Structure 1
């Protein structure tokens, strides 16, 4: 299951060449991840209200072609790997013709906010666990 989210390329996200500055793609990945989670019927805010946060523990980006100011762009997001404790999200930033500009992944764990000790998503949020299993095609 992939979720496609439109991205408005803002002028302040570009460099002097009019090309999106590389660090902004991580922000776009987060926009896509949040939309993906909301598409499943959940949100980070509810998780955080229960004292749990989801830090990034690993990130990779691969640049294929630039996205420029004023160019329509989208981020496609999916769950690439999930084991009940760690979730790896996959991303593709594409242009309006479906050409891949940037691809990448981010890996997350959920932890207790007060001490950053890992928590099992499977045990703490069984509904999320089931939704991720379904998104992976595993039921």
Structure 2
């Protein structure tokens, strides 16, 4: 998967002139949507299929501040993938600072059907499930 790239915007800064902490969570969402599109599953496709993917948990660890106009790259990987929920990891790099890891975090999701009931992905979303399992295996093999 390609990293998600963006430039830090002026309106995202706080009074100290650095990117406000809440924006990192937004960036993670942008990166997640981008990656799902790369996998052939843009969020609109999920919605057309009758599925929603709420965030069950989000966290972010801040390492080094990002400033206005810095170039950012976000690497998204699958941390955990099960039949009902999955967790994605985001590594946020500041390319304007030599690629330093500025922050990292995770989001955990499930899939819900139109009635708001949890979806068992390996049964109801077989193609998506298989793509994600294969990607997780590829990531694990790459790190060995």
**2:124 match:** 124
TM-score (norm 1): 0.92
- Give the SS at the match of 1:28: helix
**Which structure has more strand as a fraction of its residues?**
1
**1:10 match:** 9
1:117: how far off?
1.3
Cα offsets for 1:37-96 (capped at 9, x unmatched): 111121111111122100000111100011100111111111110012111000011011
Do 1:3 and 1:35's aligned partners in 2 also have CA atoms closer than 8 Å?
A: no
Give the gaps of 5 or more residues in structure 1.
Answer: none
Cα offsets for 1:106-139 (capped at 9, x unmatched): 000001234x21111222221111111111117x
Give the gaps of 5 or more residues in structure 2.
Answer: 139-144
RMSD over equivalenced CA pairs, Å = 1.3
**1:105 match:** 106
TM-score (norm 2): 0.89
Taking the TM superposition and a 5 Å limit, the aligned residue runs for 1:1-139 are: 2-96=1-95, 97-114=98-115, 116-137=116-137
